[in-house]
A and B are shown apart, each in its own frame.
Chain A
């Protein structure tokens, strides 16, 4: 009898120790194939690096981290199923959103319903309607399209532009952004000469570019996803957009991914596009430089985006924010963490971040940069300053825009 009691006690102690030793599970889906796959893989690598770094230091609250990531193929319909599985089968403790607006939108109702913390991942205005109070985005564009579209349209206005053409993918991200850009353009008194949505996953843009050319716009604002961005740049090269165009670009996702930059090479010259981080002197930051050095070694081995400017530093920052919040509150409870994230300034390598009420950066920072002097298809040239000159906002500016577009191509 005694022995049995002893045995039971030992078992209980063991199982208690097991609970204490159980890892903290962090779960997410990430586009590793499909439209956003190129960027998604780079972002995933950065998060894995963070998990490894934390585990090397002994974990959080004495518990190791376990990282679970599924591929959602950039398919919004797969995402709710994956997150339900993460929560109910894998029983994860903390959630990170997949990279991208289209794949994040479907899980917003789910996390709101279950009242969970969700760390956003470069989505745009995805919380604008749902207003979940436990959502925190790592992207630097803030709420609304002003910080994003503003610098592009400001520069256009200075060039004396009167007319604008807008082409947008019929998808969550592009629609959100273009709606914002339209409002800003209207306020500036620009006249819309072409304004069309094209179906998602379009392949051939010849007809559309011909139509834009025929409309003779001064500015062309494009909201597109990676494969389409590449196809648009190609079509513009083949067909030309006409001599009237002063500036073209604005919201083209994918022109920040090294594989696409490499494939397009000099075709990019002259395009003005948004970014999150470029190697210009106004953005120099030793922490990011050090991280990118480590990152590019790993990236080469794993054959993902070798530059890693756009997403990886910000994804590592998601990890840093979780680390800071969990360590400070000694908790992994969504309510506690969200309250902390709302009231505290987060110290990350991409800068100190304060969140507004909808969980976006309260001081946004979106450089619009113009591709210049790109020769051949060598990816290393993009590491130099001066290849992506920041033309706005004023605080980050490293050069004046070259216009019209045709002149910037030579």
Chain B
């Protein structure tokens, strides 16, 4: 499915967290509270997408991409209209302090974000490999027809998957705003990062995603620390282009 609006939902999640944090809710908790809302939102978006494109079978390639691109753009401009182009940030006890280990100082916000992200990825991986629905989600990507033969409704499975993916955006958005300030134009950068990680990992590989994420993160911070600080934005997209050109199946793809 041509879901290019995903990073825009991520930034939307960050702003929703910002709103809740304004009432004194802890950002991580806010992210958790938002997941059901985003889940339902995701179900709705998919349902709409299905009934207008997939269901009709109307040239879904080009128009589907254009649809999600348009949605992403509306989210971005909507955020600009609602919040302005200013950066927003949240406050919490673990933001702005750090843990000292000898000469090294590690910011607590990073530890929190790292922990939550790891837990989230872990539980998603478990869900996808252990539960029936989870396995069905993996299957629908490979062979829709076969799934239908086995008595599962691929549309329902896809809708469910889309809901979960969108729900993840809420929590990931919360992490995003914990790590640093957020502005509405951020999603463009994350289109690159998201797709870079996914493509580098090979579509559908959960463990690959972790490794790919690590590779990208390390590569970006090496560039930031070294001589070419100003080149950092190109790292994700550069890797993405090389992988797409050389090994479209990704490092861990089958």
B145 at interface, CB cutoff 8 A = no
Number of interface residues of A (CB under 8 A): 28
Please determine whether B86 and A208 come into contact, CB atoms closer than 8 angstroms. Answer: no
Give A31 Cβ to nearest chain B Cβ, in Å. 10
Q: Please choose the segment from A140-148, A197-205, A341-349, A367-375 that sits at the chain B interface, where 4 or more of its residues have CB less than 8 A away.
A: A197-205
Interchain CA distance A103-B87 in the complex, whole Å: 19
Asked if B44 is at the interface of the complex by the 8 Å CB criterion, the answer is no
CB of B233 closer than 8 Å to a CB of A: yes
Q: Which residues of the other chain, A, contact B181 by a CB distance below 8 angstroms?
A: 203, 227, 231
Pick from A198, A231, A238 the residue with the most CB of B within 10 Å: A238
Residues of the B chain whose Cβ atoms lie less than 8 Å from the Cβ of A37: 84-86
Closest to A71 in B: B84
Q: Is the pair A207, B230 in contact by a Cβ cutoff of 8 Å? A: no
The answer to whether B84 touches A211, judged by C-beta atoms less than 8 angstroms apart, is: no
Interface string of B58-81 (1 = CB under 8 A from A): 000000000000000000000000
Q: Are B96 and A197 in contact (CB under 8 A)?
A: no
Contact A207 B221, CB 8 Å, known A197-B229, A227-B181, A238-B105: yes
Residue from A170, A204, A211 with most neighbouring chain B CB atoms (10 Å) = A204
Within B214-247, which residues are at the interface with A (CB < 8 Å)? 221, 224-227, 229-230, 232-233
B213: which A residues are within 8 A, CB to CB?
A: none
Taking a contact as CB atoms under 8 Å apart, the answer to whether A203 and B230 are in contact is no
Question: 12 A-B Cβ contacts within 8 A?
Answer: A38-B86, A73-B85, A196-B227, A196-B229, A198-B230, A199-B229, A199-B230, A203-B180, A206-B107, A208-B229, A238-B105, A267-B96
Give B86-122 as 1s and 0s: 1 = Cβ < 8 Å from A's Cβ atoms.
Answer: 1100000000111000000101001000000000000
What interface size band does chain B fall in? 20 to 34
Find residues 195-222 in chain B having any chain A CB closer than 8 Å to their own CB: 221
Check A237 for interface membership: any CB of B closer than 8 A: yes
Could you say which residues of chain B place their CB within 8 Å of the CB of A204? 179-180
How far is B225's CA from A204's CA once the two chains are assembled, in angstroms?
A: 12
Which residue of chain A has its CB nearest to the CB of B180? A203
The answer for the CA separation of A79 and B12 in the assembled complex, in Å, is 29
Identify 14 new A-B residue pairs, CB closer than 8 A, beyond the known A201-B183, A208-B229, A237-B96.
A37-B84, A37-B85, A73-B85, A196-B230, A199-B232, A202-B232, A207-B221, A211-B224, A227-B86, A231-B180, A238-B96, A238-B97, A238-B105, A239-B98
Kindly provide the distance from the CB of A93 to the nearest chain B CB, expressed in whole angstroms: 30
Chain B CB within 8 A of A33 CB: yes
Could you tell me if A33 and B84 are in contact, using CB atoms closer than 8 angstroms?
yes
Q: Which residue of B lies closest to A74 (CB)?
A: B85
Which B residues have a C-beta under 8 Å from some C-beta of A?
84-87, 96-98, 105, 107, 110, 179-181, 183, 221, 224-227, 229-230, 232-233
Chain B positions within 8 Å of A170 at CB level: 230
Bound Cα distance from A180 to B226, whole angstroms: 24
CA distance A9 to B208 in the complex (A): 86
Q: Does A404 contact B (CB under 8 A)?
A: no
- How far apart are the CA atoms of A34 and B85 in the complex, in Å? 5
Contact of A208 among B85, B96, B98, B225 (CB under 8 A): B225
Instruction: Tell me the nearest residue of chain A to B98, going by C-beta.
Output: A238
Q: How many angstroms from the CA of A207 to the CA of B110 in the assembled complex?
A: 13
How far, in whole Å, are A206 and B221 apart by their CA atoms in the complex?
A: 9
Q: Is B107 a contact of A239 with CB atoms below 8 Å?
A: yes
Report Cα–Cα, A239/B229, bound state, in Å. Answer: 18
The reply to whether the CB of A23 lies closer than 8 angstroms to some CB of chain B is no
Contact flags A181-213 to B (C-beta < 8 A → 1, else 0): 000000000000000111101111011101100
Choose one: B87, B105, B180, B225; the contact of A207 (CB below 8 Å): B225
Contacts of A206 in B (CB 8 A): 107, 110
A211 to chain B, nearest CB (A): 5
Query: How many Å lie between the Cα of A170 and that of B229 in the bound state?
Result: 10
User: Smallest Cβ distance from A269 to chain B, in angstroms?
Assistant: 14
Complex CA–CA separation, A246 to B74 (angstroms): 48
Alpha-carbon distance A347/B97, docked complex (angstroms): 48
Q: Choose among B87, B97, B107, B221 the residue that contacts A227 (Cβ–Cβ < 8 A).
A: B87
Mark each residue of chain A from 241 to 284: 1 if its CB lies under 8 Å from any CB of chain B, else 0: 00000000000000000000000000100000000000000000
- Chain B residues positioned under 8 Å from A298 (CB to CB): none
C-beta contact mask, A137-163 vs B, less than 8 Å → 1, else 0? 000000000000000000000000000
Q: How far is the CA of A210 from the CA of B221 in the complex (A)?
A: 11
Which residues in B have their C-beta under 8 angstroms from that of A231?
Answer: 180-181
Within 8 A of B (CB), among A109-126: none
Closest to B109 in A: A238
CA distance A403 to B225 in the complex (A): 27
Which chain B residues lie closer than 8 Å to A240 at the CB level?
105
- Chain A nearest CB from B3 CB (Å) reads 25
Complex Cα distance, B105 from A240, in Å, reads 8
State A198–B105 Cα separation when bound (angstroms): 22
Give the docked Cα–Cα distance between A237 and B233 (Å): 25
Which residues of chain A (12-49) have a CB below 8 Å from chain B?
33-34, 37-38
Q: What CA separation (Å) do A239 and B97 show in the bound complex?
A: 9
Shortest distance from the beta carbon of B226 to any chain A beta carbon, whole Å: 8
**Docked pose: A202 CA to B224 CA in angstroms:** 11
A38 to B87, CA, bound (A): 11
Whether B225 pairs with A210 at a CB distance below 8 angstroms is: yes
A204 to B221, CA, bound (A): 10
In the complex, A312→B122 CA distance in Å? 53
Report A133 CB to chain B, min CB distance, Å: 35
Q: Which residues of A contact B227 (CB under 8 A)?
A: 196
In order of increasing CB-CB distance, the 6 nearest A-B pairs are A207-B224, A33-B84, A203-B180, A238-B98, A211-B225, A238-B107
